[in-house]
Chain A
Amino acid sequence: MKISIASGKGGTGKTFVSTNLFRLMQLQQKSVVLVDCDVEVPNSHVFLETTDIANHSVTDFRPDINLDACIFCGKCVDYCHFNAMICVPGAHLTKMVADLCHGCTACMVACPVGAITENQIEVGQVTTKVTKDGAPLVEGRIKVGTMSAIPAINEAVAYATSQYPADYYLLDSPPGTSCPFIQTTAKSDIVLLVTEPTPFGLSDLTQAMDTLDNMNKSYRVVINRADLGDDTMEKYLEQRGVEVLARIPFDKQIAACYASGRLVVDELPVYRAYFERLVEKIIAL
């Protein structure tokens, strides 16, 4: 079972929920792998004592343009959805702007004379770390300046699932509702949307739910800092018929624990019970 832990809004507690679920499921002797798909800033490892055991590069397509073969027809420019190509026959120039290229290969398909060939460049790394209990944390991380997070996300999930067979995969998703969110949640059986009862929280949660509805993905909600704000979010979720699996209160003890890089399931028994009930509900889904 693959479970994405996602949100619309950033800073709602995705990594908080992911790392605590991961730790608790290990303590419960469950076979579990955490995949950090937040490849722009993977930080799940901060909360877990781990040792690196494997690492490999993630590569992505970039066009190699042979100007001697190019007929300057401009088809590569027409095909490129990201304006990453320019073609100026007068200047005898066809060029790719690396910062804009998403590696989709459309330019290579477009070229009628084979002047564009495949080049692979490094866009990130996938690193496997293990906890002292032996559970793998597979972390995707893109190189600074890489346009698209997708290759690193895809490779992290593919590598984790092929190399480390497990009953449960927790995918700590990137924030937002754009491609990285979609790629991560599309690979999961169920999505846990972590939110907070603020206007921003509700606005971004609504976008995330709309996106998942479009994808026909099943999701549930975890409300973090649940005693903040008013009941607008609860009423909205009830009206929309969305099940809330957990309500975690706003408590300075949790904030202090998180800020010192520790996990509430280790430190605060009262909150460990919250996560125990959450695990039960996830397993029952």
Chain B
Amino acid sequence: MKVVITSKENNINSLVDPRFGRAAFFAVYDTDTDSIEWLGNDVVDMQHGAGTGAVNLLANLGAKKIFAVAFGAKVKPLLDELDIQMVIVKENQTVANIIALLKK
């Protein structure tokens, strides 16, 4: 299963990025292979609809679960419709922490 974690930097010790649509990076963690792919967020500079753009990107990757500090009002119904689980985490979490929790 592919799981996405918003991330400030493209390394495992980075803190989660508090923004969803405008997160600097998305860590795409595959629970089956225990591998991480780092995606730079190319919609981060969009004036409008960064959240929708991010949903389009991540849904097409096959993400089933997204960890972020907050999800915007336009994003929630889309993720619900796409059956992608939203998991809200605290800002002081690192990507490594969340992956460790997933492995438990």
Contact = CB atoms under 8 A, between A and B. Distances in A.
A85 B52 CA distance: 8
Contact of A100 (B48, B59, B60, B62): B48
Interface residues on A, range: 10 to 19
A147 B82 CA distance: 24
Contact of B78 (A82, A90, A95): A95
Contacts of B56: 77, 83, 85-88
B74 A95 contact: no
A97 B59 contact: no
Interface residues on B, range: 10 to 19
Contacts, number: 48
A86 B78 contact: yes
Contacts of B59: 86, 88, 90-91
A167 interface: no
B59 to A, nearest CB: 4
Specify which of A82, A83, A87, A88 lies most central, judged by the most chain B CB atoms within 10 Å of its CB: A83
Interface in B45-75: 46, 48-50, 52-53, 55-56, 59-60, 62, 74
Contacts of A87: 56, 60
B91 interface: no
A91 B48 CA distance: 24
Nearest to A98: B74
Nearest to B83: A91
Given A83-B43, A90-B60, A100 B82 contact: no
Given A93-B81, A97-B78, A100-B74, A83 B50 contact: yes
A88 B60 CA distance: 6
B81 A100 contact: no
A84 interface: yes
Interface in B2-16: none
A99 interface: yes
Nearest to B75: A97
Contacts of A88: 56, 59-60, 82
A77 B49 CA distance: 12
A91 B82 contact: yes
Contact of B81 (A83, A85, A95): A95
Contacts of B52: 83-86, 97, 100
Contact of A97 (B43, B49, B62): B49
Contacts of A99: 74
B82 to A, nearest CB: 5
A95 B59 CA distance: 13
Contacts of B60: 87-90
B48 A83 contact: yes
Given A83-B46, A83-B52, A90 B62 contact: yes
B82 A97 contact: no
Interface of B: 43, 46, 48-50, 52-53, 55-56, 59-60, 62, 74, 78, 81-83
Given A90-B60, A99-B74, 7 more contacts: A84-B48, A84-B52, A86-B56, A86-B78, A88-B59, A91-B81, A95-B78
